[in-house]
Structure 1
Amino acid sequence: MNKIKHKIVFLALIGLLPTLLFAQDIDDDQTNDVDLLENTNTSNFELGNGLNLNMNEGDYSFKISGMLRPSYGYEGFDRDTSANNYLYVGAARINLEGKAVKEKVSFFIEADFVNSFTLYEAFVAFHINEKMKLSVGQKLTFTNDRAYSINESQLSMVNRSPLSNSFTTDGREFGIFYESSFQIGNVILNPLVAITSGDGMNSFGDNSIDVDKGGLKYGGRLEILPLGAFSGKEGHRHVVDFYREEKLKLAINGSFSYNVGASEKTGDGHGDFQLFDENGKEKFPNYGKFYIDLLLKYKGISFSADFVNSFAYSKKDIYSSPQAVIRFTGEEVSSKYVLGTAFNAQADYLFSNQWGINIRYTTLMPEYENYDQSILQKEDWYTLGVGKYFKGDALKIQAMGSFIDGKDSTNPTDLSTVTNDRYEVHVVAQIIF
Structure 2
Amino acid sequence: MNQKLTGVCLAFLFACLFAFNTHAQTTNNTTFGKGLRFVAADSSFSMQLGTRFQLLYQGGHDPNTKNWEDRFLIRRARLKFDGFAFSPRLVYKIELGLSNSDIGSDVPDVTNNADNIILDAVAKWALTPNLHLWVGQAKLPGNRERVISSQKLQFVDRSLLNSRFNLDRDAGLQLHHEHKVGQVVLREIGSLSMGEGRDITVNNSGGYDYTGRFEILPLGDFKGGGDYVGSDIEREQTPKLSLAASYDFNANAAREQAQLGDFLSETRDLRTWFVDAMFKYRGFSAMGEYANRKAPDGPVVLRDERGGVEETFVTGSALNLQAGYLLPSNWEVAGRYTDYTPTTETRLRAQDQYTLGISKYIVGHSLKVQSDVTLIQEAGRDDRTQFRLQMELAL
Question: Is residue 407 of structure 1 aligned with residue 379 of structure 2?
Answer: yes
2:144 corresponds to which of 143, 146, 165 = 146
| Structural mapping, 1:105-116, within 5 Å | 105-114=90-99, 115=103, 116=114
* Structure with more strand by fraction: 2
Question: Is residue 87 of structure 1 aligned with residue 72 of structure 2?
Answer: yes
| Structural mapping, 1:200-239, within 5 Å | 200-205=197-202, 211-232=203-224, 234-239=225-230
Displacement after TM superposition at 1:102 (Å): 3.1
1:290 corresponds to which of 250, 273, 288 = 273
Displacement after TM superposition at 1:110 (Å): 0.8
Report the secondary structure of 2:314's partner residue.
Answer: coil
Q: Give the whole-Å Cα distance in 1 for the aligned partners of 2:301 and 2:80.
A: 43
1:396 alignment counterpart: 368
Q: Does the CA-based 8 Å contact 1:213-1:270 persist in structure 2?
A: no
Q: Give the whole-Å Cα distance in 2 for the aligned partners of 1:83 and 1:235.
A: 38
Residue correspondences, number: 357
Q: Does the CA-based 8 Å contact 1:262-1:270 persist in structure 2?
A: no
Displacement after TM superposition at 1:429 (Å): 0.5
Supply the AA of the counterpart residue of 1:190. R
| Closer, same or farther: CA 319–387 of 1 in aligned 2, 3 Å | closer
| Structural mapping, 1:57-136, within 5 Å | 58-100=43-85, 102=87, 104-114=89-99, 115=103, 116=114, 117-136=116-135
Question: Is residue 253 of structure 1 aligned with residue 244 of structure 2?
Answer: yes
1:344 alignment counterpart: 320
Give the TM-score normalised by the residue count of structure 1: 0.77
Q: Give the whole-Å Cα distance in 1 for the aligned partners of 2:327 and 2:42.
A: 41
Report the secondary structure of 1:104's partner residue.
Answer: strand
Question: Is residue 313 of structure 1 aligned with residue 296 of structure 2?
Answer: yes
| Closer, same or farther: CA 318–343 of 1 in aligned 2, 3 Å | closer
| Closer, same or farther: CA 103–246 of 1 in aligned 2, 3 Å | closer
| Structural mapping, 1:173-188, within 5 Å | 173-188=170-185
1:20 alignment counterpart: none
Question: Is residue 427 of structure 1 aligned with residue 393 of structure 2?
Answer: no
Displacement after TM superposition at 1:318 (Å): 8.5
Q: Does the CA-based 8 Å contact 1:260-1:286 persist in structure 2?
A: yes
| Closer, same or farther: CA 101–132 of 1 in aligned 2, 3 Å | farther
Q: Does the CA-based 8 Å contact 2:302-2:312 persist in structure 1?
A: no
1:50 alignment counterpart: 35
Give the TM-score normalised by the residue count of structure 2: 0.84
Q: Give the whole-Å Cα distance in 2 for the aligned partners of 1:289 and 1:399.
A: 31
Q: Give the whole-Å Cα distance in 2 for the aligned partners of 1:395 and 1:123.
A: 27
Q: Give the whole-Å Cα distance in 1 for the aligned partners of 2:161 and 2:227.
A: 20
Displacement after TM superposition at 1:75 (Å): 2.3
The 10-residue stretch of structure 1 (52-61 or 245-254) with the greater mean CA deviation from structure 2: 52-61
Displacement after TM superposition at 1:104 (Å): 1.9
Q: Give the whole-Å Cα distance in 1 for the aligned partners of 2:347 and 2:263.
A: 16
Q: Give the whole-Å Cα distance in 1 for the aligned partners of 2:286 and 2:302.
A: 44
RMSD of aligned residue pairs (Cα, Å): 2.5
Q: Does the CA-based 8 Å contact 1:263-1:270 persist in structure 2?
A: no
Displacement after TM superposition at 1:101 (Å): 6.2
Q: Give the whole-Å Cα distance in 2 for the aligned partners of 1:213 and 1:425.
A: 40
Displacement after TM superposition at 1:346 (Å): 0.4
Q: Give the whole-Å Cα distance in 2 for the aligned partners of 1:319 and 1:163.
A: 23
Q: Give the whole-Å Cα distance in 2 for the aligned partners of 1:84 and 1:166.
A: 24
Report the secondary structure of 2:215's partner residue.
Answer: strand
Q: Which segments of 5 or more consecutive residues in structure 2 lack a partner in the other structure? A: 1-24, 104-113
Q: Give the whole-Å Cα distance in 2 for the aligned partners of 1:422 and 1:387.
A: 22
Asked which structure has the greater RCO (Cα within 8 Å, sep 6+), the reply is 1
- Over residues 211-255 of structure 1, what are the superposed CA-to-partner deviations in whole Å (9 max), with x where a residue is unaligned? 3321100001111101111111x2112131111111111100101
- Over residues 250-280 of structure 1, what are the superposed CA-to-partner deviations in whole Å (9 max), with x where a residue is unaligned? 10010111100111122114762212xxxxx
Displacement after TM superposition at 1:41 (Å): 4.9
Supply the AA of the counterpart residue of 1:161. S
Supply the AA of the counterpart residue of 1:163. L
Displacement after TM superposition at 1:57 (Å): 5.5
Q: Does the CA-based 8 Å contact 2:300-2:309 persist in structure 1?
A: no
Q: Does the CA-based 8 Å contact 1:121-1:139 persist in structure 2?
A: yes
